[in-house]
Amino acid sequence: MIFVDSNIPMYLVGADGPLKDLTRRLLERAVIDGESLVTDAEVFQEILRRYTTIDRRDAIGPAFDILREVVDTVHPIEFADVARSRRIVASTPRLSERGALHIAVMQARDIVRIMSFDTGFDLVSGIERVHV
């Protein structure tokens, strides 16, 4: 099982370039390997925030659609996840608050791999970042 971070659908919706190609290859490899892909509701909020901030509201729908197509499960964010992320942020100062929340969701559901280009995830013991 692999957790899908928000940068994956955003690179697929974005302009052509090396990260878009890498993202396609990552997803193709996951499909070929029969991996179950999951995410959490916060990833959708991140897409909303990013595209609203840069005034690319037209990209929100396509990014949502791509993410819903590739993931098997969208995990909810519960208070226990937020409380756990507080502890993760305190113990991993270079990890972002959103990254800590994703890690909390992953840990609560025994997910140890994340598909992301965010190197902050490399700081968390027991988590493997899937990347090319």
User: Does 124 score more than 70 pLDDT?
Assistant: yes
Provide mean pLDDT across the span 16-21: 86
Give the domain extent around 14. Answer: 2-130
Q: How far is CA 109 from CA 23, 33, 103, in A?
A: 24, 21, 10
Q: Count structural domains, the chain.
A: 1
Is the Cα torsion angle 86, 87, 89, 93 positive or negative in sign? positive
Provide mean pLDDT across the span 56-79: 96
Within a 13 Å sphere around the CA of 27, how many CA atoms are in the beta-carbon half?
19
CATH number, domain of 6, equals 3.40.50.1010
Confidence grade of residue 74 (pLDDT, cut at 50, 70, 90)? very high
Provide mean pLDDT across the span 37-57: 96
